[in-house]
A and B are shown apart, each in its own frame.
Chain A
Amino acid sequence: MADSPAVVPRLALRGITKRYPGVLANDHVDLDVLPGEIHAVLGENGAGKSTLMKIIYGIVEPDAGAIRWEGEPVQIASPARARKLGIGMVFQHFSLFETLTVADNIRLALEPGQARQLRQRIRDISSRYGLALTPARRVHTMSVGERQRVEIVRCLLQKPRLLIMDEPTSVLTPQATLRLFETLRMLAGGGVSILYISHKLDEIRALCTRATVLRAGRVTGECDPRRETTASLARMMIGGELPHTVHREAPAGAPALRVHRLDVPADDPFGTRLAGISFEVREGEILGIAGVSGNGQKELLAALSGERTLARGDAVTLCGAPVASLDPLARRRLGLAFIPEDRLGRGAVPEMSLADNALLTARGDGNVAHGFIRARSVVAFAKRTIAAFGVKASGPDAVARTLSGGNLQKFIVGREIGQCPKVLIAAQPTWGVDVGAAAQIRQALIDLRERGVAVLVVSEELDELIEICDRLAVIAQGRLSPAKAVRETSAEEIGLLMAGATPRETHAPVVITG
């Protein structure tokens, strides 16, 4: 299958098959990765991309099939073996110890003896590839985007010959994405092969030289993405037409969520201090907050959701009621719903069923009476959510962690919307979700807006914000820019405001596609 028979593929998979109870995750998958190639693996959530990558990285053992590395048959029994061969992986779900520092996390992944002058080398790599990091910082204080940088730097330190990137750009600014692409091209130019997992079709077209498409565990096509259009790639991936998001103009109503001169001191030495943040979200509008992660989003969201309470109650008002000193449950009773950025371990309890996870926040709708759980009502609520959002799961009894990321996200979005909120706050609502599910989630947010709900979306994906928001503001270093109507601004302007927070990135050209 190799383009040129003279070149020995760095990695060749033949007939890889992996069955889980009830699912055929990989069905006779063949894949060749050539030296110095940037090879995309495309597919919806649940198509089997992650399982395939885990097989290559030695986490999961295939039921059948053969792996050749540089032409030699190998068995990759463990990630340590994979690393010894020269395979590095940047995960979509991070594998970092939260209580340790960046440097300690990286040291743990290295062989003894490789760790000399580690801090200096971390600084070298992070500045060379534009991945700003403080080696002494503890991981639990960092946002999702910052954690990803740790993962990338950790991999690069091991000088891999095959680098697996699982949705690496989902939390980067356009500028940082371009810089990462330069890094990846530089690596590929030096002979490193890159397996690039993504659902962002524009990126794949811009970056990758070959693409293998997976659908329901099988290879359904192979192409040169540079010669395809976004639409044709999407068709290959989902086996049909892409759903369109429909966005009608609607006049906004009265302010439902109002934040007035919100100051929050940083609760740890590396956190961001929020200073004088003011904005309002009106009924029937979507306000977007853009920004590079680590600029105060985490702190702002905690103050809005009630995970952090403040002494001055009127800093946040919900439908006219001061709520900044109330806990999350009290705010929910006033009509707030909140979609957090972490699905597992925050938005959902991994070990619990979907029905129990519905009850995590959905306390109305007759689900609880006199303090006692009404199981029938909860199961019905979960069933409605599963049906309304097309969640692929065996039913309300399915354990949350067995769902793919996109399906669990759809369930969480459905659960929050299903409670008929007056104000919905969504953090990174489509992070790591495939195109089909992402379009569905965006459409759900737009539908909610049309029903007169005030929606606040905090995201690092600028394209998404421009697509769905009525007004946009940018958060940088704990301060919020004035909100502007999306019609009156441009991706370039927003991108520069975002980058203003990280001055080293301002000289990069701003290009936004799509």
Chain B
Amino acid sequence: MKLRLEARPAPSRLAVWAAPLIAALATLAVGFVVFSAFGKNPFAAFDAFFIAPIATRYGVAELFLKASPLMLIATGLAIGYRANVWNIGAEGQLTLGALAGGGVALAFGEREWPAAALLPAMFVAGALAGMLWAAIPAWLRTRFNANEILTSLMLVYVATLLLSWLVHGPWRDPEGYNFPQSKLFAANAMLPILWPETRLNAGLLLALAIVALAWLFVRRHIVGFEMRVAGLSPGAAHYAGISWRRNVWLGMLAGGACAGLAGVSEAAGPIGQLLPSMSPGYGFAAIIVAFVGRLHPAAIVLASLLMSLLYLGGESAQVNLALPSAVTGLFEGTLLFFLLAADVLVNYRPRIARAAKRA
């Protein structure tokens, strides 16, 4: 008896949707082993990790709050990923977006601009800054064929240091007891709260609107179609006259714009000021969200909720079980690992090779 993989004549639609579920179950199994190894009752741990964080109204709001930047960034990245444009630097683009949006908030917030003018200005500035940061790898790729995976990743650290310098230096709050942080944003520079007594804000609506636009672009617009073609078959794209340069630029800029918007959303939402670090790794986690969501806008929304739950669960496990917060990272990594492994089932079917058959 031997397990073999046999190519399927056509990709299995069932496996496309089953693979994330299989990966989630396998991740839970690993969690079971890990919690047991730590000497915790795995069922209590699962409760603390997956149930307790969303058992309250506040918890549910937090789930959507953390899911918003994830779905926003993942949607932008997925547009590029479909065309084989690998933007890994969303974390840096988010940072630059927060920096630019926050800069606008700090400069104009106290001049009592109405929120209806100030917030859009902040988001436009953030999106442009994210695009600018993504444009550097795009230009390097199209001009010098430099690998965008490396250049976009390296720019993350540049962006973090740039923000760090600003909040330690010129933009530091003079009344902030020397903490590296900016002044708090004025009220007109803050996103309105959607659900009273929680932190859930209008950033979620923006994220959902962008997801809907992205769906329209990918599924209904000819350029979205052309980018999918380029990702699936570069030879066919070349034959049909689909421009590779345009795809690189569009893919990078879409990711940069969405990450920049997410940065402003964080600054003008739960954080309310500029800090040396504006995100607990949303820009990187969104890469996993994009793939768990099969690069499909609607599925990305679900995947972002799952990833958000992992963040909340990690915090809860830290507080209630005294487990290190690295557990969150462990679950993220395990989930992606199993997802990529389960993806084999889309194009291959496992078969158990029988002993030689005789007529």
Q: List the interface of chain A (C-beta within 8 A of B).
A: 14-15, 20-21, 60-62, 64-66, 73-75, 77, 305-307, 327-332, 338, 340, 342, 345-352, 356, 359-361, 363, 368, 371-373, 399, 401-402
Query: What 0/1 readout, one digit per residue, does chain B (233-246) give for beta carbons within 8 Å of chain A?
Result: 10110111111000
Interface residues of B in 18-76 (CB under 8 A from A): none
Determine whether B111 belongs to the interface, using a CB cutoff of 8 Å to chain A.
no
Given A352-B232, A402-B9, A402-B10, answer yes or no on A347-B239 (Cβ-Cβ < 8 Å).
Answer: yes
Give Cα A350 to B223, complex, Å: 19
Q: Which of B225, B229, B235, B241 has the most CB of A within 10 A?
A: B241
B143 on interface, CB distance cutoff 8 Å: no
**5 closest A-B pairs by CB:** A328-B241, A329-B241, A66-B359, A75-B356, A349-B233
Q: In terms of DSSP, what is the predominant structure of the interface of chain A?
A: mixed
User: Beyond the given A328-B239, A352-B229, A363-B222, could you list 7 further A-B residue pairs with CB under 8 A, ordered by the A residue number?
Assistant: A21-B9, A65-B357, A75-B357, A77-B4, A77-B353, A342-B235, A351-B11
**Known: A327-B243, A328-B241, A332-B241. Is A74-B232 also a contact (CB below 8 A)?**
no
A399–B13 alpha-carbon span in the complex (Å): 12
> B239, B351, B359: which contacts A14 (Cβ < 8 A)?
B359
Given A66-B357, A66-B359, A332-B241, A373–B221 Cβ distance below 8 Å? yes
Contact A73 B239 (CB under 8 A): no
- For residue B110, CB closer than 8 A to chain A, the reply is no
The docked-state distance in angstroms from the alpha carbon of A306 to that of B240 is 9
**CB atoms of A346 and B232 under 8 A apart:** no
Q: Mark out the residues of chain B between 174 and 229 whose CB falls within 8 Å of any chain A CB in the assembled complex.
A: 220-223, 225, 228-229
5 contacts between A and B (CB under 8 A): A307-B241, A328-B240, A351-B233, A359-B225, A402-B10
Q: Which residue of B4, B240, B243 is within 8 Å of A360 (Cβ)?
A: B240
**A327, B241: Cβ atoms closer than 8 Å:** yes
**Among candidates A346, A359, A401, A402, residue contacting B239 with C-beta atoms closer than 8 Å:** A346
**Are A60 and B6 in contact, CB atoms less than 8 angstroms apart?**
yes
* A401–B8 alpha-carbon span in the complex (Å): 11
- With a cutoff of 8 Å between Cβ atoms, the chain A residues found around residue B358 in the complex are 66, 73
Q: Chain A contacts of B243 at CB under 8 A?
A: 327
Contact, CB under 8 Å: B221 / A372: yes
Interface of chain B, helix or strand or loop or mixed? mixed
Say which residue of A61, A62, A356, A399 sits within 8 Å of B11 (CB atoms).
A399
Q: Tell me the complex Cα distance, A384–B231, Å.
A: 28
CB-contact partner of B222 in A348, A349, A352, A373, under 8 A: A373
Closest to A340 in B: B239
CB-nearest residue of chain A to B216: A372
A368 CA to B241 CA, complexed, in Å: 16
Determine whether the beta carbon of A399 is less than 8 Å from that of B236. no
Let me know if B353 and A361 touch, CB within 8 A: no
Interface residues of B in 344-359 (CB under 8 A from A): 351, 353, 355-359
- Size band of the interface chain B makes with A: 20 to 34
Known A-B contacts A20-B9, A346-B239, A351-B11; A372 and B222 likewise in contact (beta carbons under 8 Å): yes
Q: B11 to chain A: which residues have CB within 8 Å?
A: 351, 399
Check A65/B220 contact, CB under 8 A, given A20-B9, A373-B225: no
Q: Are B232 and A349 in contact (CB under 8 A)?
A: yes
Which residues on the B side are within 8 Å of A74 (C-beta)?
Answer: 356
Q: Per a CB cutoff under 8 Å, which of B221, B235, B359 touches A65?
A: B359
Given the known interface contacts A61-B351, A402-B10, the answer about A345 and B357 at a Cβ–Cβ threshold of 8 Å is: no
Task: State the CA gap A332–B241 with chains docked (Å).
Answer: 9
Distance in angstroms between the alpha carbons of A14 and B357 in the assembled complex: 11
Residue in contact with A347 in the complex, picked from B4, B236, B353, CB distance below 8 Å: B236
Question: Are A61 and B6 within 8 A (Cβ)?
Answer: yes
Contact present for A399 and B221 (CB under 8 Å): no
CB pair A371–B359 under 8 Å, yes or no, is: no
A360 touches B359 (CB 8 A): no
CB distance from B311 to the nearest CB of A (A): 34
Q: B236–A348 contact, CB under 8 A? A: yes
Tell whether, in the assembled complex, residue A361 and residue B221 are in contact, meaning their CB atoms are under 8 Å apart.
no
Beyond A307-B239, A345-B235, A373-B220, whether A399 also contacts B351 by CB under 8 A is no
A399 touches B229 (CB 8 A): no
How far, in whole Å, are A346 and B236 apart by their CA atoms in the complex?
4
Specify which chain A residues have a CB less than 8 angstroms from the CB of B229 in the assembled complex.
349, 352, 356, 360
A305→B241 CA distance, assembly (Å): 9
Interface contact A345-B236, CB-CB below 8 Å: yes
Closest chain-A Cβ to B289's Cβ sits at a distance in Å of: 23
How distant is the Cα of A340 from the Cα of B233 in the complex, in angstroms?
A: 14
Task: Tell me which residues across on chain B come within 8 A of A342, comparing CB atoms.
Answer: 235
| Contact present for B6 and A64 (CB under 8 Å) | no
CB pair A350–B233 under 8 Å, yes or no, is: yes
Minimum C-beta distance from B213 to chain A (A)? 13
Closest-by-CB residue of A relative to B356 is: A75
Shortest distance between the CB of A416 and any CB in chain B (Å): 11
Among A14, A306, A345, find the residue whose CB has the most chain B CB atoms closer than 10 A. Answer: A345
| CB < 8 Å neighbour of B236 from A66, A338, A349 | A349
Q: Which residues of A contact B355 (CB under 8 A)?
A: 75
Give A61 to B243 CA distance when docked, in angstroms: 41
Closest CB in chain A relative to B337 CB, distance in Å: 24
Q: Is the CB of A356 within 8 A of B225?
A: yes
Our pick among A66, A307, A372, A373 for the contact of B238 (Cβ within 8 Å) is A307
Least CB distance from A258 to B in Å reads 21
User: Which of B220, B239, B355 is most buried by chain A, counting CB atoms within 10 A of its CB?
Assistant: B239
- Per the bound structure, the CA–CA distance linking A360 and B351 in Å amounts to 35
Residues from chain B with Cβ under 8 Å of A73 in the complex? 356, 358
Centre residue among B10, B228, B353 by max chain A CB count within 10 A: B10
Cα–Cα distance between A448 and B163 once the two chains are bound (Å): 65
A332 neighbours in B (Cβ, 8 Å)? 241
Distance from B199 Cβ to chain A, minimum over Cβ atoms (Å) = 38
Complex contact A351–B232 (CB within 8 A): yes
How far apart are the CA atoms of A20 and B7 in the complex, in Å?
A: 11
The CA-CA distance from A288 to B208 in the complex, in Å, is: 56
Shortest Cβ gap from B183 to chain A (Å): 44
Interfacial chain B residues near A340, Cβ < 8 Å? 239
B241 and A371 contact, CB distance less than 8 A: no
Bound CA–CA A327/B235 (angstroms)? 15
Closest-CB distance, B79 to chain A (whole angstroms): 15
Contact between chains at A305 and B359 (CB < 8 Å): no
A401 to B356, CA, bound (A): 31
Contact assessment for A346 and B222 in the assembled complex, using a CB-CB cutoff below 8 Å: no
Determine the residue in chain A with the shortest Cβ distance to B224: A373
Which listed residue (B4, B9, B223, B356) contacts A371, Cβ 8 A? B223
| A residues near B357, Cβ cutoff 8 Å | 62, 64-66, 75
Shortest beta-carbon distance, A358 to chain B, in Å? 11
Given A66-B357, A77-B353: A306 and B241 interface contact (C-beta under 8 Å)? yes
Look across to chain A and name the residue whose beta carbon is closest to the beta carbon of B233.
A349
Distance (whole angstroms) from the CB of A60 to the closest CB of chain B: 7
Question: Among A332, A351, A399, which residue has the most Cβ atoms of chain B within 10 A?
Answer: A351
Asked if A15 and B359 make an inter-chain contact with CB atoms under 8 angstroms apart, the answer reads yes
Contact of A345 among B233, B353, B356, B359 (CB under 8 A): B233
Most buried by A among B223, B236, B356: B236
Q: Which residue of A lies closest to B12 (CB)?
A: A21
Residues of A within 8 A of B353 (CB): 61, 77
Cα separation A60 to B11 with both chains bound (whole Å): 17
Tell me if A346 and B356 are in contact (CB < 8 A). no
Assess the A399–B10 pair: CB atoms within 8 A.
yes
Q: How distant is A451 from chain B, measured CB to nearest CB, in Å? A: 24
CA distance A401 to B11 in the complex (A): 10
Which chain A positions have C-beta within 8 A of B223?
A: 371
In the bound assembly, the distance between CA atoms of A61 and B349 in angstroms comes to: 12
* Residues of B close to A14: CB separation below 8 A: 359
